[in-house]
């Protein structure tokens, strides 16, 4: 009986030891496998790219503004004929050319027989003679020598007027004297806003009150 019990106890102890050893082996190897698998997973990295492979996205070419060339220097001072240079013998020609514009309709800023304004008429008449004079009426009113009195006005002189009779103001109208027929009859040609290019008497009611000065350009 004792012999049987001792054998049974020995078997039980042996089984217990075997079971314990196996359990320790399992517990010992499992973490190592997990560790190795983690190490393997950590060791896997994305394939590295060479610096040349990392190219920035293509950019569209930016159009550059054209380079502007500097504007050539201009002479801001107009070159006019010098007052007094033209011979008084040319006055009949001035009158003749001016009368060829008779009937031309008025057009502000106009310079030809399709349409012309008062200062344009003066400028164009002398231009056809090869003489350059100012284009704007107030500039024309300062060109040449002022005539001292109405009695001294001659053919070829320029006459200037203001907008309102009996009042001072800016020069708004101009004409060329074509004929002096008497003390009360000085005829001049001009571009009328309502009737185009025509000749009128300086001493008419409308113009006499608006007349301010006469200039002798040459």
CB 118 within 8 A of CB 173: yes
Catalytic residues, which ones? 118, 173, 190
Q: How many whole angstroms separate alpha carbon 211 and alpha carbon 218?
A: 21
Chain centre distance of CA 178: 44
The residue among 92, 216, 95 whose CA lies nearest residue 154 is: 216
List all residues 6 or more positions away from 104 whose beta carbon is below 8 Å from its beta carbon: 113, 114, 115, 116, 191, 196, 197
List all residues 6 or more positions away from 182 whose beta carbon is below 8 Å from its beta carbon: none
Q: Which two tokens stand for residue 20?
A: 């314990």
Q: Which two tokens stand for residue 115?
A: 């349409």
78: number of CA atoms within 13 Å, CB side? 12
């Amino acid at each position: 009986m004792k012999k049987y019990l001792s054998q049974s106890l020995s078997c039980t102890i042996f089984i217990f030891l075997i079971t314990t050893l196996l359990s320790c082996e399992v517990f010992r190897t499992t973490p190592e496998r997990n560790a190795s698998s983690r190490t393997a997973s950590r060791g896997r990295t994305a394939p590295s790219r060479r610096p040349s492979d990392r190219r920035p996205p293509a950019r569209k070419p930016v159009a550059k503004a054209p380079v502007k060339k500097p504007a050539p220097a201009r002479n801001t001072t107009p070159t006019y004929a010098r007052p007094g240079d033209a011979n008084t013998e040319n006055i009949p020609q001035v009158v003749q050319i001016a009368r060829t514009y008779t009937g031309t309709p008025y057009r502000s800023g106009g310079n030809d027989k399709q349409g012309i304004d008062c200062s344009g008429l003066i400028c164009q008449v002398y231009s056809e003679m090869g003489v350059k004079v100012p284009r704007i009426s107030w500039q024309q009113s300062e060109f040449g020598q002022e005539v001292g009195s109405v009695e001294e006005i001659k053919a070829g002189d320029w006459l200037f007027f203001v907008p309102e009779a009996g009042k001072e103001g800016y020069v708004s109208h101009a004409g060329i004297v074509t004929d002096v027929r008497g003390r009360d009859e000085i005829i001049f040609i001009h571009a009328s806003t309502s009737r185009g290019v025509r000749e009128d008497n300086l001493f008419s009611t409308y113009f006499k009150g608006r007349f301010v000065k006469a200039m002798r350009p040459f």
